[in-house]
A and B are shown apart, each in its own frame.
Chain A
Amino acid sequence: ETGVTQSPTHLIKTRGQQVTLRCSSQSGHNTVSWYQQALGQGPQFIFQYYREEENGRGNFPPRFSGLQFPNYSSELNVNALELDDSALYLCASSFWQGSYNEQFFGPGTRLTVL
């Protein structure tokens, strides 16, 4: 088990609602990345935060937004939920220093949009 935790474990929302997912990164890590994994698919990169600033974004609309806090924990916010947003949302933390560093994934939050 990694030291990355996510909450909640499961969540059910209806179309049009807003949701906030939380991630507590592993101790000493300064980077958090968020991924969306639809059923039967690989994880898709949403965005990354490094030292509280967004540091890259994948092909996701602006209604997906995030924050990173001074303790390097992070939130993913999704507004105006759509049915296709139903997925497993994963966060991964790492200590980035300009070259590859191993990413540690949390267990994910399963979001169902009805």
Chain B
Amino acid sequence: SQKIEQNSEALNIQEGKTATLTCNYTNYSPAYLQWYRQDPGRGPVFLLLIRENEKEKRKERLKVTFDTTLKQSLFHITASQPADSATYLCALEGKGGNNRLAFGKGNQVVVIP
């Protein structure tokens, strides 16, 4: 069966350090992999998208890598700030660009001042 796995344990990290989150998937061949941020009681907010033929994407303090052989994406927040505290969701979109997303459970990040 298809699975998207993110670490269920919250990541507690000191302000200024780099937070790294992992997304592993099985039985998927995604065209795109996306990362979203979700704050409590709010809808997800799009952060970054990486295509299957891309290895790395950066946006400001965020970096995403994508290894289709390992079926894994890493999401990095550099120079983390308390305002980065949230749940981060990994989402896959299948080939065909149908905009239907399959999400992982999310990984909570807590940045300690």
Contacts and interface: CB of A to CB of B under 8 A. Distances in A.
Contacts of B45: 2, 105
Interface of A: 2, 4, 31, 33, 35, 40-45, 48, 55-56, 58, 88, 90, 92, 94, 96, 98-108, 110
B113 interface: no
Given A33-B101, A48-B98, A107-B43, 19 more contacts: A31-B99, A35-B103, A41-B105, A42-B4, A42-B103, A42-B104, A42-B105, A42-B106, A43-B101, A44-B103, A55-B98, A56-B100, A88-B41, A92-B43, A98-B97, A100-B97, A102-B49, A105-B36, A108-B43
Q: How large is the interface on B (under 10, 10 to 19, 20 to 34, 35 or more residues)?
A: 20 to 34
B79 interface: no
